[in-house]
Amino acid sequence: MEMINCKINGIAVSVPKGATILEAAREAGVDIPTLCYLKEINEIGACRICVVEATGARGLVTACVYPVTEGMEVKTNTPKVQNARKINLELILSTHEKKCLSCVRSQDCELQTLCRDYGVEDSGKYDGFKPQYELDLSAPHLVRDNNKCILCRRCVAACEKQYVHVIGANDRGIDTHIGTPFEKQLDDVPCVSCGQCTVVCPTGALREKDNTDEVWEAIADPSKHVVVQTAPSIRATLGECFGMPIGTNVEGKMVAALRRLGFDKVFDTDFGADLTIVEEATEFIDRVKNGGVLPMITSCSPGWVKFAEYYYPELLEHLSSCKSPQQMVGAVIKTYYAQKNNIDPNDIVVVSIMPCTAKKFEVGRDDQSAAGVPDVDIALTTRELGRMIMRAGIDFVNLPDEQFDNPLSDDTGAAVIFGSTGGVMEAALRTANDLLTGKDNKDVEYKEVRGTAGLKEAVYNIAGIEVKVAVASGIENANYIMSRIKDGTADWHFIEIMCCPGGCVNGGGQPLQPASVRNFVDLTSLRAKALYEQDKAMKIRKSHKSPAIKKVYEEFFEKYGSHKAHEILHTSYVGRKKYR
């Protein structure tokens, strides 16, 4: 590899040919501020916050896209550079709604941080025309507030990366704004609710729709039995809301915090993940043995399901009919759990803590009401739970570790890894192998489907059957899979698809990290590592071995794939029009 030698603020560094000044500065231990830049997603040099002085260049250059050359000397903090950055921030601020005290991103806003660092105040120096926009509250998962938009286009790039393309820059000049085609509301375009735009937005222009007040109200209502469930990935991410290292497993503290918030029961969505596996594996085996539609595709990710309904309605029969783990837990709480405890399902409020903004959409889907009422009432993101804990004055970091409540608490390693791409596939293979061979197979690690790659393929011999599998994360890869199925060139038998790149650990509702972290830290790998470490340490690593799963089938469902199980744990899909 050809290397380039340069100097950053007098520090000699050697970087691969083609590296940018931003990357070279990182090697020298210098952090150049950015606002629009996101590595491999949005590399457009538009905000000009990263400008620097460089020999051989005419004027200031943008470090995020300007390549270093042999012998180049770069200065990143001269008075000229700092003054330019300050002016750019003042210009951005001149059209920005500055209601910072009540903004959900206050103290977690990249624009606010930069303005503080560079001493930018609301001086009115560049005041002039200031556009006003109405909030778009049409979607169940998202608030779109262009009054806080700084036109960095990160959201546009993220949406393009997800192959959805429902937002972009509309109009020109001072009227430029981020909008949808034909200025439709977000709920009227084929948005899949993935929320990837919210995790990259540097301000409060895009944020999840906050449902925490509904939860506070339910907890305060003595007539309601309020139950909370937490998705597998939350234990690996919630700690970030409180400054803990990325990838810290905070399962015990999370349970303790939820109890202190006042929930009547704290259950683990891992139970639903194990339920999903035994039902999904049974469905897959039935399709293989009885000539059912193949390949079968997982249905745990509501953003992926919504994409399929919009873009491939003719292929919906390939999806497993299993509800997602969130919905399965809600359904079991309002049927089995309600009966055992003599509670009217109408008096139960099921709250879920999810990594995914699409879960807010999923709770309102049709055919998700096993007891005649919604399986899940309120879905919160990891970020919303973090804010609830802070509002309640709970010292999260110093909480003791506590255990989930019974009876929906026993989980397995198979359920834990659901939070990472490939985890659902690996969990399903562990159970399918046992069910097909009739043995308790000791080899439970299917490492070929692990890792953060967006597309993985493998072939396994199970009970003499050659099973070809594929794992995809991110809608761009999902589209590739579906196009192969549509044109008849797919030879897979079983496919896992997750909407968000890297899986739930990188979901649209996960804790926000600034570009300075996202550009240089592999968030997905660090978060997933915590889940795989927990899996490896667990005594039970197969879903069908869970005592809680065995008990619920003995007492309620009778057997995997029973008629009752289908009534409560399975669902249906519907083709959607792309525009309304």
Per-residue DSSP letter, 375: S
| Residue with tokens 């939820």, as numbered in its chain | 258
All residues at 6 or more sequence positions from 486 whose CB lies less than 8 Å from its CB, including other chains: 312, 314, 315
Average pLDDT over residues 248-274: 98
In this structure, the dihedral spanned by the alpha carbons of residues 169, 171, 176 and 179, taken in order and rounded to 10 degrees, is -40
Mind listing the pLDDT tens digit for each residue in 353-408? 999 999 999 999 999 999 999 999 999 999 999 999 999 999 999 999 999 998 88
Report d(CA 468, CA 455) in Å as an integer. Answer: 14
Report d(CA 321, CA 507) in Å as an integer. Answer: 23
Report d(CA 44, CA 84) in Å as an integer. Answer: 18
pLDDT of residue 579: 74
pLDDT of residue 580: 63
- Whether 311 has a pLDDT exceeding 70, the answer reads yes
pLDDT of residue 407: 86
pLDDT of residue 121: 84
Neighbour count for residue 487 (Cβ, 10 Å): 8
Confidence of residue 334 (pLDDT cuts 50, 70, 90): very high
The answer to whether 382 touches 500, Cβ cutoff 8 Å, is no
Check whether the bond before 222 is cis (ω within 30° of 0): no
Q: What are phi and psi of 109, to 5 degrees?
A: -110, 125
- Structural domains in the chain, sorted by start: 3-77 (3.10.20.740), 93-208 (3.30.70.20), 213-569 (3.40.50.1780)
Confidence of residue 264 (pLDDT cuts 50, 70, 90): very high
Q: What are phi and psi of 351, to 5 degrees?
A: -110, 135
- Per the prediction, the chain carries an average pLDDT of 96
Q: Read off the tokens for 321.
A: 């009919």
All residues at 6 or more sequence positions from 522 whose CB lies less than 8 Å from its CB, including other chains: 452
How long, in residues, is the chain?
580
pTM score, two decimals?
A: 0.96
Q: Which helix (H) or strand (E) holds 126?
A: none
Q: Which of 496, 403, 395 has the alpha carbon at shortest distance from 451?
A: 496
Question: What is the share, in percent, of the chain residues with pLDDT greater than 90?
Answer: 94
Q: How far apart are the first and last CA of the chain?
A: 52
Mind listing the pLDDT tens digit for each residue in 62-113? 999 999 999 999 999 999 999 999 999 999 999 999 999 999 999 999 999 9
pLDDT of residue 537: 97
Q: Which of 193, 196, 256 has the alpha carbon at shortest distance from 230?
A: 256
Average pLDDT over residues 324-350: 98
Beta bridge partners, 348, equal 225
pLDDT of residue 430: 96
Q: Read off the tokens for 475.
A: 């809608």
| Residue with tokens 């909407």, as numbered in its chain | 499
pLDDT of residue 398: 98
Question: What is the share, in percent, of the chain residues with pLDDT greater than 70?
Answer: 100
Confidence of residue 252 (pLDDT cuts 50, 70, 90): very high
Mind listing the pLDDT tens digit for each residue in 431-470? 999 999 999 999 999 999 999 999 999 999 998 989 999 9
Give ∠ CA 141-142-147 in degrees, rounded to 5: 170
Report d(CA 418, CA 428) in Å as an integer. Answer: 10
- Whether 128 has a pLDDT exceeding 90, the answer reads no
- Whether 123 has a pLDDT exceeding 80, the answer reads no
pLDDT of residue 122: 76
Helices (H), 162-203: 196-200
Report d(CA 273, CA 279) in Å as an integer. Answer: 10
Average pLDDT over residues 31-42: 95
Average pLDDT over residues 518-532: 97
pLDDT of residue 577: 86
pLDDT of residue 578: 79
- Whether 194 has a pLDDT exceeding 90, the answer reads yes
All residues at 6 or more sequence positions from 476 whose CB lies less than 8 Å from its CB, including other chains: 161, 162, 163, 454
pLDDT of residue 70: 96
Mind listing the pLDDT tens digit for each residue in 532-561? 999 999 999 999 999 999 999 999 999 999
